[in-house]
A and B are shown apart, each in its own frame.
Chain A
Amino acid sequence: MSRSVKLATAAALGVVMIALLPVVSGAQQKQAKASVEQPAPKPPVKLGLGRPALPEEIQAWDIDVRPDGQGLPPGKGTAKLGDAIFQEKCTICHGEFGEGVGRYPVLSGGLGTLKADRPDKTVGSYWPNATTVYDYIRHAMPFGSARSLSNDEIYSLVAYILSMSDVIKDQDFELNEKNLAAVEMPNANGFYEDDREVSEKQFWKANPCMKDCRAAPKVIGRAMAVDVTPDNKAGPKVD
Chain B
Amino acid sequence: MSNEPTADLLNRRRFLSVAGLAGAGAVLPTIAQAGEAPKPDPLITEVQDWNRYLGDGVDKRPYGVPSKYEKHVVRRDVSWLTASPESSVNFTPLHELDGIITPSGVCFERHHGGIAEINPADHRLMIHGLVEKPLVFTMDDIKRMPRVNKVYFLECAANSGMEWRGAQLNGCQFTHGMIHNVMYTGVPLKLLLDEAGLKPNVKWLMLEGADSAGMNRSLPIAKALDDVLIAFAMNGEALRPENGYPLRAVIPGWQGNLWVKWLRRIEAGDQPWQTREETSKYTDLMPDGRARKHTFVMDAKSVITNPSPQAPLKFKGRNVLTGVAWSGRGTVKRVDVTLDGGRNWQAARIDGPVLDKSLVRFYVDFDWNGEELMIQSRAIDETGYVQPSKDELRKVRGVNSVYHNNGIQTWLVRGNGETENVEIG
Task: Indicate if the CB atoms of A66 and B388 lie closer than 8 Å.
Answer: no
| Cβ 8 A contact of B222, one of A22, A52, A143, A199 | A22
Nearest CB in chain B: distance from A175 CB, A? 18
Does B200 sit at the interface, judged by CB under 8 A?
yes
Nearest CB in chain B: distance from A207 CB, A? 9
User: How many A-B contacts if CB must be within 8 Å?
Assistant: 300
Residues of A within 8 A of B196 (CB): 50
Docked Cα-Cα span, A36 to B275, in Å, equals 29
Task: Indicate if the CB atoms of A132 and B200 lie closer than 8 Å.
Answer: no
| Cβ 8 A contact of A126, one of B145, B271, B280 | B280
Task: Indicate if the CB atoms of B221 and A3 lie closer than 8 Å.
Answer: yes
Task: Indicate if the CB atoms of A217 and B212 lie closer than 8 Å.
Answer: no
Nearest CB in chain A: distance from B410 CB, A? 8
Docked Cα-Cα span, A140 to B310, in Å, equals 37
- Determine the residue in chain A with the shortest Cβ distance to B198: A36
Task: Indicate if the CB atoms of A128 and B83 lie closer than 8 Å.
Answer: no
Residues of A within 8 A of B78 (CB): 228-230, 235
Nearest CB in chain B: distance from A191 CB, A? 5
Task: Indicate if the CB atoms of A44 and B285 lie closer than 8 Å.
Answer: no
In which size bucket is the chain B interface?
35 or more
| Cβ 8 A contact of B174, one of A33, A58, A230 | A230
Nearest CB in chain A: distance from B371 CB, A? 13
Nearest CB in chain B: distance from A192 CB, A? 6
Interface residues of A in 188-239 (CB under 8 A from B): 190-196, 199-200, 202-206, 208-224, 226, 228-232, 235-238
Task: Indicate if the CB atoms of A191 and B214 lie closer than 8 Å.
Answer: no
Task: Indicate if the CB atoms of A223 and B273 lie closer than 8 Å.
Answer: no
Nearest CB in chain A: distance from B240 CB, A? 22
Binds A, one of B38-46, B100-108, B294-302: B294-302
Interface residues of B in 324-373 (CB under 8 A from A): 336, 340-346
Query: When A2-B226, A192-B293 are in contact, do A140 and B136 touch as well, CB less than 8 Å?
Result: no
Residues of A within 8 A of B203 (CB): 23-24, 29
In which size bucket is the chain A interface?
35 or more
Task: Indicate if the CB atoms of B422 and A221 lie closer than 8 Å.
Answer: yes
Task: Indicate if the CB atoms of B342 and A203 lie closer than 8 Å.
Answer: no
Residues of A within 8 A of B387 (CB): 203
Query: When A146-B212, A230-B78 are in contact, do A49 and B144 touch as well, CB less than 8 Å?
Result: yes
| Cβ 8 A contact of A57, one of B126, B342, B344 | B126
Q: Beyond A47-B144, A53-B128: 9 further Cβ-contacts under 8 Å? A: A64-B273, A103-B83, A139-B215, A196-B299, A199-B396, A213-B343, A214-B343, A217-B342, A238-B83
Identify 19 residue pairs between A and B in the complex whose beta-carbon atoms are under 8 Å apart, listed by A's number. A4-B222, A44-B194, A47-B144, A50-B196, A58-B126, A62-B128, A62-B267, A66-B274, A114-B285, A119-B289, A123-B280, A140-B213, A144-B212, A190-B289, A196-B295, A203-B392, A217-B340, A220-B424, A224-B421
